A = this chain, B = another copy of it.
Amino acid sequence: MDPTSELLSELRTELRGTTQLDEIRSLLAWDQQTMLATRGHQRRAEQLALLSAIHHERFASKKVGDLLSELSQRSELDEMQQTGIQLLLKDWRRAACVPAELVERLARLQGQGHMAWMEARAARDFRVFAPVLQQLVDATIERAHALEPGAPVYDVLVDDFEPGMSTERLTDLFRRLRAGLLPLLDAISGATPMPRLEGTFPRDQQMSWCLELASAMGFATDSGRVDLATHPFTTRLGPTDIRITTYLNERNPMHALGATLHETGHALYEQGLPSHLEGTGVEQFASMGLHESQSRFWENTIGRSAPFFRWLAPRFAQHFGAVAPDANTWYRAANRVERGTNRVLADEVTYNLHVIVRFELERALFAGEIQVPDLRDAWAEAYRRDLTAPQDDVEGVLQDIHWSGAAFGYFPTYTLGNLYSAALGRKMQQELPVWELVERGEFAPILGWLRERVHQHGRRWPSEELVRRVTGESDVVEDLVSYLWARHGALHGVTRA
C-alpha cells in the first residue's frame, strides 16, 4: 500500500470503532425507551455516560486529529475523499475543541435541565425552569465561542444540526414562508369542517397493520424492527439494523398511521445511506433537515394524499372490518387544519408557523435581543399573532423538551424538512407518475427515486445544495406554499389570490 492508502486505512479502522460505539450507544437508548424496566433507568444513564466518555476519548484523540490533518494535505485524494476528510475534520474539531470541563458541565446541566423542565411543567410555571435554562444558554454560548471564536452564536448552533445553513438564510426563508402561509390559513379557516375518525381499533391489530405498512413502503424487515414507544423515534444500531418505533391510540388509528409513515421515512433514508463508504466521512446522513424531509415526504406528501387513502382504506378494512373509515373520510380527517397551541399535534399547514415562532425566539435570545425571563411572554405574544395564545406555560413555552437538553438551533430543521420535501416532491412528480403509483400501492419506484437522488449521496453536499442539484434552481418556499395551496385549497374550495 502507498502511504496515503495506509493513512486512509488506519483512519477507517479508527472510525469503524467510534461508529460502532455510537451504534452501541443507540442500542442502549433504544432499549431504554422500549424495553427497560422502571428500576433499570439510573444504571442505564451511567452506562450511557460511560460510553459517551469512551467514544469521546477515541474520536477526539490526537491520533484521529493527526490522521485527518495529515490526510487533508494529500493532493492525491479524489474529490469525494477530500470532501469526506473535510467533513471529518469539522466533526473532530467539534468534538476536540470544547474543553472537557465544559462538556461535563453541559451534560450535567442537561440532566438538571430535564428535571427542572419536568418540575416546571408539574407546577405549570416557566419560572421554575428559567434559572437552569439561563445556565444552559450561558454554557451553550460558551461552547459556541470555543468552537468558532468570533462567529455569531446562533450560526454555530444551527450548523450543529444543519451544516451549511445560516441564520441569515433561515430568516429570509422563514419570513417568506410565513408570508405565504398566513393567507392560505386565513382562506381556509372557518371553511368546510373536517371529520374526526371514531371507533375502537385493537392495539395488537394496529401493530401488525403498522408492520405491514412499513413493509409495503419498502422497510427491510430483515434489517430492522418495529416496536412501541411513548415518543416514537428511529435509530441506527448498524448499517443493517435500523429500528422504528411507533405509537398507538386505540380510539384513533391516525396516530399510528402518522407515526409509522414518519418513522419509516426516516428508516428508509438510513437504510439507503451509502454504507459501503463507511469510514470515508461521506456515508452519514446530510443533516437533520434532510432527514426530516424524508420522514415528512412519506408522512405528509404521500401519507395525507387522496390516492394514498384510496389504496389504504380497503387494506385497513381487512384488518378492522366495519369500523374502518372509507377513503374519503380518512382523507378529510387527515387534513384538518387548525390554529392550535401544540406543535406536535399540528397539521401540515400550521406546523411551520409553530416552528417559526421558536426560531424567532431562539434567534433573538442568542442575539441578545431578548432575555430568558422574556421567553414566556414573547412566546404567548407570537402565538397570539399567528396561531392561538396558550392558556398556560405548559401549553406555551414549556411544551417542548428541546431547550431542556440545550438543543438550541434544532427547531428550524423541522421546517427545512418540509421545504426540502416540497421541492423534491415537485421534481419527483415531473419524473414519475407519483399519484398513480401511490394509488396502486407501488411505492418501490418512489423509494428508488429517493435512493438514487438523495439517499445514496450521504452527506457529500450540504442539504440545500443536494436538493438544488436534484430539483434545479427553484424557490423551496414557493414549492411548499403551492403544494399546500393545491391540497388544502381544493379541499376547502378556495383558490390562491
Residues of chain A at the chain B interface (Cβ within 8 Å)? 16-17, 20-21, 23-24, 27-28, 31, 35-40, 42-44, 46-47, 50-51, 54, 220-225, 237-241
B51 touches A221 (CB 8 A): no
A24-B47, A37-B222, A43-B241 provided; 7 other pairs, C-beta below 8 A? A17-B50, A23-B47, A27-B28, A37-B241, A39-B223, A40-B223, A47-B238
Contact assessment for A224 and B43 in the assembled complex, using a CB-CB cutoff below 8 Å? no
Minimal beta-carbon separation of A293 from chain B (angstroms): 26
The complex places the Cα of A476 from the Cα of B194 at a distance, in Å, of 77
Known: A28-B24, A50-B20, A51-B24. A39 touches B240 (CB 8 A): yes
Q: Are A43 and B28 in contact (CB under 8 A)?
A: no
Of all chain B residues, the one with the shortest Cβ separation from A238 is B43
Assembly CA distance A23 to B36 (angstroms): 13
List 26 A-B residue pairs with CB atoms under 8 Å apart, sorted by A's residue number. Answer: A17-B50, A20-B43, A20-B46, A20-B47, A23-B47, A24-B24, A24-B28, A24-B47, A24-B51, A27-B31, A31-B31, A35-B225, A37-B222, A37-B223, A37-B240, A37-B241, A39-B223, A39-B240, A39-B241, A40-B238, A40-B240, A40-B241, A43-B237, A43-B240, A43-B241, A44-B241
Contact B225–A37 (Cβ < 8 Å): yes
Min CB distance A314 to B, Å, is: 28
- In the docked arrangement, what's the CA distance between A20 and B54, Å? 12
Q: How many copies of this chain does the complex contain?
A: 2
From A16, A20, A51, name the one whose CB has the most chain B CB atoms within 10 angstroms.
Answer: A20
- When distances are taken between beta carbons in the complex, the residues of chain B under 8 Å from A20 are 43, 46-47, 50
- Inside 8 A of A44's CB, which chain B residues have their CB? 238, 241
| A46: B residues at CB distance < 8 A | 16, 20
Shortest distance from the beta carbon of A244 to any chain B beta carbon, whole Å = 12
3 residue pairs, one from A and one from B, having the closest CB atoms = A40-B241, A43-B238, A39-B240
Residues of B within 8 A of A225 (CB): 35, 37
Closest B residue to A34 by beta carbon equals B35
CA A50 to CA B27, docked complex, whole Å? 15
A58 to B, closest residue via Cβ: B54
Q: Which B residues are CB-close (under 8 A) to A51?
A: 24
B239-A43 in contact (CB<8A)? yes
Chain B hits for A43, CB < 8 A: 20, 23, 237-241
Chain B residues with Cβ under 8 A from A28's Cβ?
Answer: 24, 27
Q: Which of A40, A50, A240 has the most CB of B within 10 A?
A: A40
B224 touches A37 (CB 8 A): yes
- Chain B residues with CB under 8 A of A240: 37, 39-40, 42-43
